[in-house]
Structure 1
Amino acid sequence: MTMLSSLFLLLLLVLTWTRKTPQQLLYSLLREAEKGLRRMNVRIPGLERRLEENNPKRVFHSPFLRLRGDVRHLPTLLNLPTSEGSGEAAHPDVLHVPGGWGKGDWTWLMAATPYPMGTDYFENPEFYVSRDGLRWQVPEGLRNPLARVPVEPSRREIRREFHSDPSLLLHEGLLHLYYRWTAVLNTGETENRILLTTSPDGVVWSPPEAVLSERLPTGSDRKFLSPSALVLDGTRVLWTVDCEAGDRFIVRRTSPDGLHWSAPVRTEIAAPFPLKAPWHLDVSGEGGRLRLLLTAARDRGVDAELLWGWSGDGGLSWNVEGKPFEPGYFFEKKRIYRSSIVPMEDGTERLYYSAMAGDGTWHVAALDLGAPPPYETGTEGN
């Protein structure tokens, strides 16, 4: 190996270890060199000033660095105690229980997945609780994650597997957590499952049980993306994003018990502007009008943007109306991802959303919104 190759590998190792871009590493080296020169009473005119002025603007970015001058939303970044220690997370799904629930009478419940630098090995469902919706903790007695890979270590045909997309449902005092498991197989196929685990108290959870399962050729077909569950008029309803022949769409399934699901029914989406294909979703509400949060994106979530809308026919059709906010901070720079919206007692809403920053890190933020926009009178569905 030549000396040049060795230096390149050493630089790559340093960049990987410190998570710095080449520009950041060069800045750090220059700043330390300038400090050393000052200790020796050697001054280079203008160097200290130029280093200080260029640091915050061009090299090291605060999560709340504004990318433009007209940013109006004021989110709160959450400090989630992820089990692998990074604090990076995605796919939040949040419930507000004003009367309290579980061993600690918690009023806020969240499921999310750690996602350090987009590493899906850690993308396992975790559970957190809170009393104000901003300061989150792991319930005493619970050890996250609730499930981890490998799920079936003895299956040698599995080349790669990961979890994603948790969804919480509280029904008759029992907390249900639906989440997705995906395995890429050596056979040229991909196996997808929706798994269900339940808890009466947030600490003790049942063994995961597959409630939907399908094996498809690896490629453009996908099933069960981003499950979102509700109970409407006593019937369990589950929405997912499915993909066939490269076409992604929202489907609706029903169940009497949350275990056995009907065949999927494709729903319709209307919007007054061009839409990217659905990628992730969250549905909230108890009946009548349902609220939709839709993450629309190119394949694999590229160029994802967050939209909101509603349904007046139980989620068989949707009206998408626009964006709840325009991304404007460094921690939102690359994409806005799966999100969750929670109605508050005063008629306003609180949005929880995950976002990918300009440096590839993942964050979950809370944003208090006003009252939802009025729906069109007398319009059901589309």
Structure 2
Amino acid sequence: MKRILALMLAAVMTATVFAGCSADNAVSESTGEGTTQTTETQQPTAVVSKQTNKLSNNTQEKEKTEFKPDFDFCTNSVSKLNLVNSDSYIESYYPNNAYHPKLIDLGKEWNGYRFWLSYTPYPKGNDYYENPQIVGTNDLINYSEVKYTEPPLANYKKSVRYNSDSHLVYNEELDRLELFWRYTDYDTDYMALYMRYSYDGDNWSDKLVYFETYEKEKYDMVSPAIIRDDGAYKVWYIGHYQLCYRELRNGVWSDPVQTDLSFEDGAYIWHADIIKTNRGYELLGCATTDKKDRKHMNLYFSASEDGLNWETGVKVASPSEDYTAWDGGGLYRPSFIYADNHYIVMYSARNDYNDFGTGLLVGRDMFNLHGTDLDYIYNGQADAQRLWDYLNNDL
């Protein structure tokens, strides 16, 4: 299987080496205060079952229609997504500098929105603003007002005490959203995963301690990817550039386990998102070939039947070949779902001029991801419908 994946990727990369954008490239209990973004006026005509019932890289090919999109495909996302910092003053100077997204698809409208998203603003790489925010959307392009923002830390200290690494979970048993994020204090070797929950997306609970340790060096959980499943919270995270696993069941944490995830080019995992599928588990993450450089990374895909033994990770996305583009430096933590016979990927990225943001890729499989030249910020209403016309008709 590992060799097959590598061969598949090699074929795809040979067919899709591309620097620009062309139609010919197709298929190569606290209440948050926030600012207002463009709000949906029309929900796309998507008919979708929940991602956990449909995911597979081996989906049988369906008969294609004659539908052709009225936009061009690109290697990467030309436009950022319109994800704002709730601090409107900072947003005016560093627009749409959202980082570290976590997207979930509820398969139906929940308190007004089918999709919910957490992310952390990261203007000019300033971790003072790296505090989780929540928005809802019905089309992945036009977003609600910011539903919740974690307040800036009173004891913030640059690169020492700060928030990071948000993650969002839908707890089906309790019918609520659960927001998780990581807090660190290097001065005291302390690390915690905090959690807030909401039954309506607007009103959020007090901050709860989900996990904590005063041995951060040993037990840190970088970029936790959390799945609520089988009565437990299953947590994958990065520890010393290795993918590790623990679970919380009946209030008791299991011991840490290091998985066997590795990559075709010897890269080291740094951040990842993991979803449960009919293959078992699928992973999309950023990894670096140089532990001293976490600015210039690529995205890699892997799958596992049990969450511990993983197929060799294969590179599926890279920075834009235009180094001046917003994502021309390196890719960072992605999030992904499967809907309308497509993988939909939100990926955070940066260039070398302190511009950060989150973009969008789509593909019928993980080895044919592509962006578009659609404008998600200034033409969101029209371009969202154009994108979903394509997703709904590309069968």
Q: Distance in 2 between matches of 1:130 and 1:89?
A: 16
Identity within the alignment, % = 23
Q: Distance in 2 between matches of 1:67 and 1:192?
A: 42
Q: Distance in 2 between matches of 1:190 and 1:210?
A: 16
Q: Distance in 2 between matches of 1:308 and 1:115?
A: 25
CA distance change for structure 1 residues 294 and 320 in 2, over 3 Å: closer, same or farther? farther
> What residue ranges of structure 2 are gaps of 5+ in the alignment?
1-16, 26-73, 369-395
Residue 162 of structure 2 corresponds to residue 162 of structure 1? yes
Q: Are the equivalent residues in 2 in contact too, given 1:80–1:137 (CA < 8 A)?
A: no
Residue in structure 1 matched with residue 97 of structure 2 by the alignment? 88
Residue 341 of structure 2 corresponds to residue 347 of structure 1? yes
The one-letter amino acid paired with 1:131 is N
Select 2:332's aligned residue among 317, 331, 337. 337
The one-letter amino acid paired with 1:331 is W
Q: Distance in 2 between matches of 1:149 and 1:158?
A: 11
Residue in structure 1 matched with residue 260 of structure 2 by the alignment? 268
> What residue ranges of structure 1 are gaps of 5+ in the alignment?
1-65, 375-382
TM-superposed CA distance for 1:287, in Å, is 5.5
Cα shift readout 1:69-125 (whole Å, capped 9, x = no counterpart) = 5884252420112112232110000011221112x2x01110000000100000000
CA distance change for structure 1 residues 222 and 275 in 2, over 3 Å: closer, same or farther? farther
| Counterpart mapping for 1:134-283 below 5 A | 134-138=141-145, 142=147, 144-150=148-154, 160-172=160-172, 173-185=175-187, 189-216=188-215, 223-243=220-240, 248-257=241-250, 260-271=252-263, 273-283=264-274
Moved more, 88-97 or 189-198: 189-198
Q: Distance in 2 between matches of 1:238 and 1:287?
A: 19
The one-letter amino acid paired with 1:92 is P
TM-superposed CA distance for 1:371, in Å, is 3.1
Indicate the RMSD between aligned Cα atoms, in angstroms: 2.7
Q: Are the equivalent residues in 2 in contact too, given 1:81–1:138 (CA < 8 A)?
A: no
Cα shift readout 1:293-323 (whole Å, capped 9, x = no counterpart) = 121122462432211111111x112213422
Q: Distance in 2 between matches of 1:136 and 1:299?
A: 36
Q: Distance in 2 between matches of 1:306 and 1:131?
A: 26
The structure showing larger relative contact order (alpha-carbon pairs under 8 Å, at least 6 residues apart) is: 2
The one-letter amino acid paired with 2:345 is L
CA distance change for structure 1 residues 131 and 159 in 2, over 3 Å: closer, same or farther? closer
Select 2:82's aligned residue among 73, 79, 82. 79
CA distance change for structure 1 residues 69 and 77 in 2, over 3 Å: closer, same or farther? closer
Q: Distance in 1 between matches of 2:255 and 2:294?
A: 26
CA distance change for structure 1 residues 286 and 233 in 2, over 3 Å: closer, same or farther? farther
Partner-residue secondary structure (3-state), 1:320: coil
TM-superposed CA distance for 1:262, in Å, is 1.6
Q: Are the equivalent residues in 2 in contact too, given 1:231–1:286 (CA < 8 A)?
A: no
Q: What is the number of equivalent residue pairs in this alignment?
A: 287
Q: Are the equivalent residues in 2 in contact too, given 1:127–1:146 (CA < 8 A)?
A: no
Q: Are the equivalent residues in 2 in contact too, given 1:196–1:208 (CA < 8 A)?
A: yes
Residue in structure 2 matched with residue 108 of structure 1 by the alignment? 115
Select 1:305's aligned residue among 286, 298, 305. 298
Q: Are the equivalent residues in 2 in contact too, given 1:232–1:286 (CA < 8 A)?
A: no
Q: Are the equivalent residues in 2 in contact too, given 1:307–1:321 (CA < 8 A)?
A: yes
Q: Distance in 2 between matches of 1:67 and 1:348?
A: 21
CA distance change for structure 1 residues 130 and 299 in 2, over 3 Å: closer, same or farther? same
CA distance change for structure 1 residues 74 and 302 in 2, over 3 Å: closer, same or farther? closer
Q: Quick check: which has more Rg, 1 or 2?
A: 1
Q: Distance in 1 between matches of 2:270 and 2:219?
A: 11
Q: Distance in 1 between matches of 2:332 and 2:219?
A: 18
Q: Distance in 2 between matches of 1:177 and 1:287?
A: 25
Residue in structure 1 matched with residue 371 of structure 2 by the alignment? none
Q: Are the equivalent residues in 2 in contact too, given 1:331–1:363 (CA < 8 A)?
A: yes
Query: TM-score, normalised to structure 2's length?
Result: 0.67
TM-superposed CA distance for 1:286, in Å, is 4.5
Q: Distance in 2 between matches of 1:96 and 1:241?
A: 24
CA distance change for structure 1 residues 260 and 178 in 2, over 3 Å: closer, same or farther? farther
Q: Distance in 1 between matches of 2:233 and 2:274?
A: 13
